[in-house]
Amino acid sequence: MEVIPAIDLLGGKCVRLYQGKYDRETIYSDDPIEVAEKWVRLGARRLHIVDLDGAKTGIPVNLEIIEAIRNSVPALIQVGGGIRSMETAITMKSIGIERVIVGTAAIEQTELIETVCDKFGPDYLVISMDARDEYVAVKGWLQNSDTPVHKLLEDMSELGVRRFMYTDITKDGTLTGPNFNAIGNLMKLTKHPIIAAGGISTLDHIKRLSSLGIEAAIVGKAIYTGDVDLADAVRLTDN
């Protein structure tokens, strides 16, 4: 299993939100590039970047910073937040982003999902299943949809998607532990790779997620607070 550090961008700064709430923001750095370089020095081979401004507005807002990070570190990079058009998907590809993470468009623009898969192949796309009470939230988690997580997984698999990310919004930024039951249930529903996020705060959480067979775990707040040492987490999952 791979451990992937998260870099959430809001107003050009590196932040963490509590349960995705924009009014519960903690700023951890004014220099996201420095943060990216730190995580790579500690062993990260991939970075998970979320443009929180883009998630809210529907178009990337922190593109210059994302590109600067891309040019500053050798790690692979996946980006989410505001990926809701083919133009944006093409732009991300052109600056060297390995994967784009799509949430809202998976609910509202299924034709975009098909087009991205056809043009770039399924490995370029990750569908983000951001759950609140087992239903998918959209538009930067500000709105709830009437689509259950399992239905989105099924529908997107039929369109050719081959990789998914699951976040329990109520766990995100809380350091209270992942929703292991929900993640385990999703693993029973698909053979496609699942990336899990939300609530990770100990190495034991990472061990337990690894035992479920997920492809990767996104670690956010815990590596900023020091609850999890990223280097230790990388070594743990490398063994």
For position 18, what pLDDT does the model report? 79
What is the model's pLDDT at position 179? Answer: 95
Nearest to 159 by CA among 167, 151, 147, 171: 151
How far, in Å, CA of 162 to CA of 207, rounded?
A: 24
What's the one-letter identity of residue 67?
Answer: E
Classify residue 151 as exposed, middle or buried by CB count within 10 Å of its CB (0-12, 13-18, 19+).
Answer: middle
Catalytic residues: 8, 130
* pLDDT reported for residue 77: 98
pTM of the model: 0.94
Encoded tokens for 134: 């087992």
Q: How many independent structural domains does the chain possess?
A: 1
Question: Which CATH number does the domain housing residue 131 bear?
Answer: 3.20.20.70
**Structural domain that includes position 178:** 2-238
Q: Residue ranges of the chain with pLDDT lower than 50? A: none
**CA triple 52-225-209, angle to 5 deg:** 80
Please identify which residue in the block is written with the tokens 């569908």.
127
Per-residue model confidence (pLDDT) at position 139:
81
Contacts of 66 (CB under 8 A, 6+ apart): 9, 49, 51, 60, 77, 79, 95, 97
pLDDT given at position 74? 98
- pLDDT for 239 equals 63
DSSP H or E segment with residue 210: helix 203-212
Give the CA distances from residue 127 to residues 23, 100, 160, 215, in Å, rounded to whole numbers and listed in that order.
26, 9, 11, 14
Cα-to-chain-centroid distance, residue 124? 14
Amino acid letter, residue 30? D
Give the Cβ contact number of residue 130 at 10 Å: 26
| AA identity, residue 32 | P
Q: What is the pLDDT of residue 238?
A: 84
CB atoms within 10 A of CB 179: 21
Coil, helix or strand at residue 74: coil
